[in-house]
Chain A
Amino acid sequence: MSIDAKDAKNPKDTKRGIKPASSKIFSPLLALFAILLFNIFLNPGFLSITIVNGHLYGQLIDILNRAVPVMILATGMTLVIATAGTDLSCGALLALSGALAVSLIRGDSTVLNADTAMPFAAVILISLVVTSLCGLWNGFLVAKLGIQPIVATLIFMTAGRGIAQLITGARNLTTSYEPFSVIGQGWFLGLPVPLFIAAGVFLAVWYFARRTAFGLFVEAVGVNASAARYSGINSSLVIMVVYTISGFCAGVAGLIYASNIMCADATNAGLNYELDAILAVVLGGTSMMGGRFYLGGTVIGALIIMALTKSIYAFDVAPESALVVKAFVVVFVVMIQSPLYRSLRESLRSRKRKPGSVRESVG
């Protein structure tokens, strides 16, 4: 009989093994749809998309476009969180990347005495390489020195913004360099360029994580770093790569942010974005304890945050009061994902089924 019970359990288990991915994505998706529905109800013109000069305009496009920086940060953050880490520095690195790019384009930075304007490609490359190196440094502190991720990245969170302000001289450096504006304001095939960049970053990370064994390594490290090491995974290398990717993503997001306003605003660029990015990842179903990660869920999480902010702006209230609604939505989503709720649901389900099986086992 015990064998029977095991057999009866096994298929269910394997089914559950496959299911979580879809069910994990399901609740954030539901939340997103609820917010969008709410908006349509409030404003019937919400879904309409108009074409002006061959460019698509509309609320939906706007939400997508504005969600891009957080979405890119969150893509890198997903991998970091999957290794049971956190990257608090990405908002500051975003500011650093923008500051570097604009000051290099202008060629009049207070620190980098580059009088001659650099080739554009070099500017982009330098910004991305610098932020990636900062990410690598974070990874080094976490992996090699065993410092807790929150503290290790706290260093660049405070110092990174300081360095960005050092580079810009705490001024709001502006630029009117045409090619640079394409990154944040350009259009391609009727859609804003940032969307394509975000899609590119997402696909690259997705491919690297899901079409190679790397994603599996990340999850293994997240579940148990030492167990992963004993089974032959180079845990510290995986962690360093993950933080480097996060730094790179911050660099890309910083270029988009700076290009969008054509200005390097070291003080305010990406302020608190790291929190939004972490939130997007958690809303998307990835646990902060590490382990399984859901890149698709992260994108939905970022969209939830932006759609929520956008729909609150529709009311005539101070933009900052949106935070209250944000707090309640996060509580709601977190509740759905909590073990308590899950066990409640399980017990409800098993109560429906149990009477028969219990009697059977007694008999």
Chain B
Amino acid sequence: MNNSMNNSVNSGMTDGADKIAERKRGFSIDLKYIPAIAAILLFFVAYGIGGLLYGDRGFLRLRTFTSIFTDNAYLGVSAVGMTLVIVSGGIDLSVGSVAALSTMLIAYCTEELGMNSSLILCAALAVGSFLGFLMGVLIEKLSVPPFISTLIGMFLARGLCFIISIQSITINDTFLRALGKWKIKLPQNSYINLSVILFAVMLVVGVVVMRYTRFGRGVYAFGGNRQSAKLMGLPTARIQIGIYTFSGFCSALSGVLFAFYTFSGYGRHLYGMEMDVISSVVIGGTLLSGGVGYPLGSLFGIMIYSIILKFISFNGTLSSWWTKIAVGVLLLFFIVMQRFIVYVAGRKRGRT
């Protein structure tokens, strides 16, 4: 009976949402897409500028374009999970550590313990998901703020890495090496590897989950207004725990991709990755107040982040700290714009 009630409530909610969207379509339906659209535009503008400046050095070659994805697929996978978390109004600081733990697990178990590598891949993903699950339980059942509970997860995962081993372990396993080196050759000496494909798969999963499943709509409702979501009868506890479990899974997968990328497991890997991921997600148009955000926007957030890196490597004289300053300035630009949009939308809603 409870289930049927949920059903009716759900359909009622979507009906209502559709009606509101219809009514709004006249003037403000585009408004909430603007940050994501701006991110996409910015990417192409940056790409164009890069082409003008460094075109002679091969900025516009296909290889440069594909390397945007091959170099940063691991960030992208984690960003998909982070998008869900941030849309729900939370934050996940543990992604870098969980990813590092997964590189460590893979490297240690295959190299030192000689375990079956495909089994280890699954185990690493399971461990990451379980850590995410634990953080979700901590948030939901003990009302620990997401910031603190994922901070605990960050400490735990990072510490576990060093308990396993304090050294950097090189991965020599033939199966893992083969997976990491597998690639589809494209013209102009460019290629797409397994990481990019997995990133694409996760992106599709993210889009489908967020757009077409009850769980995804629940995430938006939860992030928009927790109280109403609860009163509507949405299973908020299950949604909350599910979100963090999914993010844990994404982080673990991101660690797997990083292990494919570097062929090593180390406790110091991916230090501070969480902030890169959060920045990319915010630049991609996800509001940190929750309720608004798109995995595809995060894709462009990651692409903008990596094109900054490309600029710096192509320039040659700029130092790497300019990345940080550029990301900071972009963040500022995007959040001020988002704020402005929310303000304008609020005023329009007030007028009607």
Whether a CB of chain A sits under 8 angstroms from the CB of B147 is yes
Report the 5 A-B pairs with minimum CB-CB distance, sorted nearest first. A159-B328, A162-B324, A323-B159, A324-B159, A165-B321
Partner of A327, one of B144, B155, B275, B279: B155
List chain A positions with a Cβ less than 8 A from chain B. 86, 141, 145-148, 150-152, 154-163, 165-166, 170, 266, 275, 278-279, 282, 288-289, 317-318, 320-328, 330-331, 334-335, 338-341
> A150 touching B151 by the CB < 8 A rule?
no
Partner of A324, one of B149, B151, B160, B329: B160
Task: Return A273 CB to nearest CB of chain B, in Å.
Answer: 13
> A326 touching B328 by the CB < 8 A rule?
no
> B275 touching A166 by the CB < 8 A rule?
no
A266 to B324, CA, bound (A): 13
- Using known A-B contacts A288-B145, A326-B155, determine if residue A321 contacts B325 with beta carbons closer than 8 Å: no
Task: Return B131 CB to nearest CB of chain A, in Å.
Answer: 11
Stretch at the interface among B68-76, B253-261, B330-338: B330-338
Task: Return B292 CB to nearest CB of chain A, in Å.
Answer: 13
A331 to B162, CA, bound (A): 20
Residue interface mask B143-176, A partner, CB < 8 A = 1: 1110111011111101111110010000000000
> A320 touching B162 by the CB < 8 A rule?
yes
Give me 26 A-to-B residue pairs in the complex whose CB atoms sit less than 8 angstroms apart, sorted by A's number.
A151-B282, A155-B328, A158-B275, A158-B279, A158-B327, A159-B325, A161-B321, A162-B321, A162-B328, A170-B319, A278-B147, A282-B148, A318-B166, A320-B162, A321-B159, A321-B163, A322-B159, A323-B158, A324-B155, A324-B163, A326-B155, A327-B153, A334-B144, A334-B152, A338-B143, A339-B143
Q: What 13 additional pairs, Cβ within 8 angstroms, besides A158-B327, A160-B328, A266-B321?
A: A147-B335, A151-B288, A155-B331, A275-B154, A288-B147, A318-B166, A323-B156, A327-B155, A331-B152, A334-B138, A334-B152, A338-B142, A340-B142
> A288 touching B148 by the CB < 8 A rule?
yes
Partner of A159, one of B151, B319, B327: B327
Task: Return A286 CB to nearest CB of chain B, in Å.
Answer: 12
Give residues 299-346 of B contacting A (CB, 8 Å). Answer: 319-325, 327-329, 331-332, 335-336, 339, 343
> B275 touching A330 by the CB < 8 A rule?
no
Interface of A is mostly: helix
Task: Return B279 CB to nearest CB of chain A, in Å.
Answer: 6
Chain A residues with Cβ below 8 Å from B136 are: none
Chain B residues with Cβ below 8 Å from A331 are: 138, 152
Task: Return A342 CB to nearest CB of chain B, in Å.
Answer: 10
Task: Return A312 CB to nearest CB of chain B, in Å.
Answer: 10
Partner of B142, one of A146, A150, A335: A335
Whether a CB of chain A sits under 8 angstroms from the CB of B82 is no
A156 to B275, CA, bound (A): 12
Chain B residues with Cβ below 8 Å from A159 are: 324-325, 327-329
Whether a CB of chain A sits under 8 angstroms from the CB of B91 is yes
- With CB as the reference atom, state the residue of chain B lying closest to A341: B142
- With CB as the reference atom, state the residue of chain B lying closest to A323: B159
Chain A residues with Cβ below 8 Å from B156 are: 323-324, 327-328
Whether a CB of chain A sits under 8 angstroms from the CB of B278 is yes
